[in-house]
Amino acid sequence: MEDLKIINKGLEDEMEIGGYRPCRWKLALVGVGVVCSGGFLLLLLYWMPEWGVKATCSRTTVKEADMVLLRSTDEFKRWFLAKVRVMLAPGRNPFDNLDSQTTSTATANGHTPHGPRTPDSPSQEIRHMYAEYQPMQIRYFTLHSTKYYWSDTAQNFVVFTGLEDLEVTCSTVHSKHSTGLSRNQQEYRRLFFGVNEIAVKVPSVFKLLIKEVLNPFYIFQLFSVILWSADEYYYYAAAIVFMSVVSIATSLYTIKKQYVMLHDMVAAHSIVRVSVIRANNEIEEAMSTDLVPGDVMVIPSNGTIMPCDAVLVSGTCIVNESMLTGESVPVTKTNLPNPRQGGRGSDSDTVYCTEEHKRHTLFCGTNVIQTRFYSGELVKAVVVRTGFSTAKGQLVRSILYPKPTDFKLYRDAYLFLLCLVAVAGIGFIYSIALSIINKVPAKTIIIESLDIITITVPPALPAAMTAGIVYAQRRLKHIGIFCISPQRINICGQLNLVCFDKTGTLTEDGLDLWGIQRVENKSFLLSEENAYRESLVKSQFVACMATCHSLTKIEGQLSGDPLDLKMFEATGWILEEATEEETSLHNRIMPTVVRPPKQLLPEPTVSSQQDMELYELSQSGYEIGIVRQFPFSSALQRMSVVTRTLGEKRMEAFLKGAPEVVASLCKKDTVPEDFAEVLEDYTKQGFRVIALAHRRLESKLTWHKVQNVSRDHIEANMEFLGLIIMQNKLKPETPGVLEDLRRANIRTVMVTGDNMLTAISVARDCGMIPPEDRVIIADALPPKDGQAAKINWRYADNPTKSSGKATRLEEVEISLEDVSQGEEARQSERYHFAMSGKAFAVITEHFQDLLQKLVLHGTVFARMAPDQKTQLVEVLQSVDYFVGMCGDGANDCGALKRAHGGISLSELEASVASPFTSRTPNISCVPNLIREGRAALITSFCVFKFMALYSIIQYISVTLLYSILSNLGDFQFLFIDIAIILLIVFTMSLNPAWKELVPRRPPSGLISGPLLFSVLTQILVCLGFQTMAFLWVRKQSWWEPWTPLSDTRGDFNQTFCLSSQCACNLSSSSNISLELNETELDDHYIKNYENTTLFYVSSFQYLIVAIVFSKGKPFRQPSYKNWPFVLSACSLYAFLFFILFYPISAIDDFLEIVCVPFQWRLTILLIVFVNAVVCILVETLVLDVVLWKLVFSRDKQGSYASGPAAPTAQY
């Protein structure tokens, strides 16, 4: 019965859900299968949960399911299994108002609630409660720390996130949710929302051990060890067990450490004592774990760490949100405006949303530094979300349950392993057939044929693959780049496009005041260097600079937005805030006061008419009180304040923000005619321009009315005051780094929240856009008045004069064909697209087919909101770019997480969101990361190719020996696997990265022409030389089936062979009977000439391919600079040459090799030498010179049509 539903529709974690019920006959059948397969079927069903469910359960509707099978709808198609549980509750919705609160809560919880009780006994009370109502059964399941409840209305499982589920309006938050909940209502809601805690459970070592040991790889190793033990290969089996134990222990330690670190990070300050307002207006102390959405908590005046997401309904808070945003600048949070209170209609009453109303929302995990409040009125906040639904909870969830990293290398690695398994299958069949023909006992057939599989799939492969990444991580740490997702290092080697935030990343964090340009009588005055002058002290312009900001004093130090700080410091004024004592004496919140320094003020003169009170006021100086603040909003691109000057009756409003926005809010007759021209002139030079405006408010606006007036009412009919010009200097490293990236054919893109023309100017200054290139602004307009959405194209650098009007940019006609075939159509004239966040939103919605073509040539994306930055990264990834993102962590968290390689320049806790964090606060870390990524990627290829060749070389040796019913000896396996392979693998990964970025990129996957050619040709070469050696030794005149007597000499020897034909002319005083005893012990027929020959040849082959595959330039330093590798290889060569030309009986006996004539030893040396020459010629001459150049040039030509892969796709 098909009943597939979708949960979390439209969200990142959207999943298909199907319902299942256990089926008895299927369970019985599986039970029989498990017994017959020796438990292997159980393991298979554990590895494949979807098979397990389908094999033991039958389909049913989702509503009636006992367990649900979920599959993610993203490209990974991951399966999840969850058990459906039943909960008894008095209602189906946590926000229901229950008639009988006490009754419902008692039964729902299964015990009576705390508080005063009736004299009845508990049993009588419960009977009485049950008589009143019937509890409801609510079905739910838990997945990834989120509870999904069955909803009859939606006919699906839904998540209760919090107060936002009700879609409450701002006025409803004040009218219905600001009085608090009764204890019973709170307990009822806690049934659904659970305990308010972000619980990171640290699994026990036993649980982790079981999970780790049941990994398919370790099960395969266990199978191998049992097999080798049965075949009496005890030493090698013990070595593998030892390696596995070390590997499992290391893995357990790392995983446990990560869990403990995350637990400690989350647990710190997560449980605090809070004051909660109950429905009867009582305040009670409670633990933060008891909070539920709808509770009203009191924010203490000395601050706290927020245990949940809550919206402020009264008072003001100063909050450090570095945990969330990466920005350590304190933010002022104001209470949520109540539209009804201001006497306005419901038009301005919007639905509360944490994202839109974040200036009024206190987020979980953020630090409330201090609060400001009215006398007699507490600073209150309504709890909106708790536990894992909070902003911090979602961040922790994304760390606990990350999306798998989709990278071609890992997919190809599995394909490669499957190929090795296929090769093993051929060997398996071959060995069985051979053994049956030779009438080998059944036990030997089973062991030896299975042994082939363990040889072909190398047990040390995962450890070997990890080594290169671990070394790269260590090198990155050494240069100040920290990594929390090591698998991403390899992906960084593929990056071919990097997005940069502007402020704080490409440019200095701080802005310097370059100058001011005031407006008088509708025209600009000459620009002035600063505002610190006596003549300007009482001007509206300086008053706006001194008051229109969100600065606050924390422990006596001015703190706030760097731009506000620079602007305020330029005035030289003094800011004073009311103390708690002063605030509590008044009926209203005491305003922040700003005043100029005394030396700037003229001496006050007293006239005869002035009364005493005014005289005292004037003596105290010129002061302005900030009555109300409308914080800066990135959506509105402005902030404003309402102020009152001491001694003045009427209040004034000051506004500052983006020049275009401020000018649109001013009276047209106050904005100079050349406003656009002047603004463009400054922005083209790369200045950050802020406009100021002012208005005297109506006298009817009293203090209380101002507290409730809407922002739109204040920010209208303003008078334009002029411009503040701030200089945002480029960081000294920026141009050089961008030039390095450009030379390496890595495209660079700017994604900023700043002004379009300023961004273009900075892009030109830093070399992102070369001087000779044109910039075309794509200005998209949404559909309006029945007209379809359209795009206006205009050159950014060609302003044209309209008759008597302000300048406007020259419009240019571009057809869609030009965009799609841009590079070919305009080879002579290279160009870049620039667009704003608004245009990007319109293009995303209405011009989806054009979007991908635009981003191929888009270089500047200005005025981009944080979620738009993430969208841009996704669009770039959709056109096959490997995208890097470099930001200062402030509003780049989403993009940093989504990019293939996100690197944060902020060392704050927000760097948890980014895979990489740089201690160096400039973009020089980007090329370093790409270099290390490329080195790690090439190392992974080298190791994988080497491990593949190692298993195939050993497979060839064993297969050839099987044909004479022989095999490699236990200690021969041990010497090859431990002394040669492990030593070489762990040292060949140590090559450091090449010192500069080259235009060439490493291949992204193993299944690519050059790599397959490399592996296959080396396999053929090794196969050829091993087969030749194997056949050649049997053709020697001295060859005969080996016996212990073949190694002896003297009178006894003459009975067996002619001296000229003896295999070995070593003098030996060994006892013949001892040798004969050894013969009886050598059941496996290890000692023979073929074995010895193949052992020598294959041992040299491992070292030859290791050296051939250990590539250096252009992605890694040459191998001769990797001294541990050179030392290991030389030592092994020396040892092999030593035992080849100077046999020592103890070593020969240990390795089970036999004595061969000196002439044959020279022949082996010749075979090895020719093998080495052929391997080197094939790899370096044929592959590197011929094939690479052909393939690379072909890639280059084919990429012009698609854009991303092209080295010149930057333009």
User: Would you call 1120 exposed, middle or buried from its count of C-beta atoms within 10 A (0-12, 13-18, 19+)?
Assistant: exposed
pLDDT band at 803 (very low <50, low <70, confident <90, very high): very low
Mean pLDDT of 234-261: 79
Strand order in the sheet with 316-320: 304-305, 367-372, 316-320, 331-333
| The two structure tokens encoding residue 706 | 């101002």
Task: Please name every residue paired with 780 in a beta bridge, in sequence order, or none if there are none.
Answer: 791
Q: What pLDDT digit, counting tens, does each position of 1011-1047 carry?
A: 788 888 899 999 999 999 999 998 888 878 777 666 5
Q: What pLDDT digit, counting tens, does each position of 649-699 carry?
A: 788 899 998 888 888 888 888 888 888 888 888 877 778 788 999 888 887
State the chain's maximal CA–CA distance in angstroms: 145
Strand order in the sheet with 774-781: 481-483, 916-918, 901-904, 883-887, 497-500, 747-751, 858-862, 831-836, 774-781, 790-800, 808-811
Residue 1081 has pLDDT above 50, yes or no: no
Q: In terms of pLDDT, which residue wins out, 1003 or 1070?
A: 1003
User: Would you call 1096 exposed, middle or buried from its count of C-beta atoms within 10 A (0-12, 13-18, 19+)?
Assistant: buried
Lowest mean pLDDT among 247-251, 654-658, 1205-1209: 1205-1209
Q: Are 518 and 532 in contact (CB under 8 A)?
A: no
- The pLDDT of residue 729 is 80
Q: What H or E segment, with its residue span, contains residue 331?
A: strand 331-333
Q: In terms of pLDDT, which residue wins out, 893 or 760?
A: 760
pLDDT band at 134 (very low <50, low <70, confident <90, very high): low
Residue 177, amino acid: H
- Candidate list 13, 412, 501, 561, residue with the active-site label: 501
Distance separating alpha carbons of residues 372 and 321, to the nearest angstrom: 18
Tell me which range, 258-267, 400-409, 790-799, 1169-1178, is most confidently predicted by mean pLDDT: 1169-1178
Q: Are 149 and 192 in contact (CB under 8 A)?
A: yes
Q: What pLDDT digit, counting tens, does each position of 1-17 carry?
A: 456 788 888 777 889 99
The secondary structure of residue 1118, as a DSSP letter, is -
Residue 853 has pLDDT above 80, yes or no: yes
Residue 92, amino acid: R
Mean pLDDT of 165-186: 85
The secondary structure of residue 999, as a DSSP letter, is S
Tell me which range, 86-90, 279-283, 583-587, is most confidently predicted by mean pLDDT: 86-90
Q: In terms of pLDDT, which residue wins out, 1100 or 315?
A: 1100
For residue 326, the SS3 value is: coil
Lowest mean pLDDT among 899-903, 1173-1177, 1199-1203: 1199-1203
- The pLDDT of residue 104 is 38
pLDDT band at 113 (very low <50, low <70, confident <90, very high): very low
Query: Measured in whole angstroms, how far is the alpha carbon of residue 834 from the centre of its chain?
Result: 27
- The pLDDT of residue 1203 is 37
Beta-sheet strands, E only, within 220-323: 273-277, 283-287, 296-298, 304-305, 309-314, 316-320
Name the H helices within 331-456: 391-400, 408-437, 442-456
For the chain, the residue count is: 1211
Output the pTM of the full model.
Answer: 0.73
Q: Which residues are CB-neighbours of 11 under 8 A, at least 6 positions away?
A: none
Kindly report the three-state secondary structure assignment for every residue of 191-234: HHHCCCCCCCCCCCHHHHHHHHHCCHHHHHHHHHHHHHHHCCCH
501 noted as active-site residue? yes
- The pLDDT of residue 837 is 87
Question: Nearest-CA neighbor of 423 among 460, 454, 456, 448?
Answer: 456
Mean pLDDT of 75-88: 87
Q: What pLDDT digit, counting tens, does each position of 1121-1138 carry?
A: 889 999 999 999 999 999
pLDDT band at 326 (very low <50, low <70, confident <90, very high): low
Distance separating alpha carbons of residues 879 and 856, to the nearest angstrom: 8
Q: Are 986 and 457 in contact (CB under 8 A)?
A: no
Distance separating alpha carbons of residues 640 and 662, to the nearest angstrom: 10
pLDDT band at 1060 (very low <50, low <70, confident <90, very high): very low
pLDDT band at 205 (very low <50, low <70, confident <90, very high): confident
- The pLDDT of residue 126 is 42
Which pairs count as long-range contacts for 70-74, CB under 8 Å and 24+ apart, including other chains?
Answer: 70/7, 70/15, 70/16, 70/17, 70/18, 70/143, 71/15, 71/16, 72/13, 72/14, 72/15, 73/6, 73/14, 73/15, 73/16, 74/14, 74/403
Mean pLDDT of 353-370: 83
Mean pLDDT of 627-644: 80
pLDDT band at 891 (very low <50, low <70, confident <90, very high): low
Task: Please name every residue paired with 82 in a beta bridge, in sequence order, or none if there are none.
Answer: 68
Lowest mean pLDDT among 280-289, 680-689, 1127-1136, 1168-1177: 680-689
Distance separating alpha carbons of residues 48 and 41, to the nearest angstrom: 10
Residue 1191 has pLDDT above 60, yes or no: no
Residue 140 has pLDDT above 70, yes or no: yes
Distance separating alpha carbons of residues 1111 and 1108, to the nearest angstrom: 7
CA distances from residue 621 to 597, 608, 612, 1144, 1202 in whole angstroms, order as listed: 9, 19, 15, 102, 68
Question: Nearest-CA neighbor of 703 among 647, 655, 630, 643?
Answer: 643
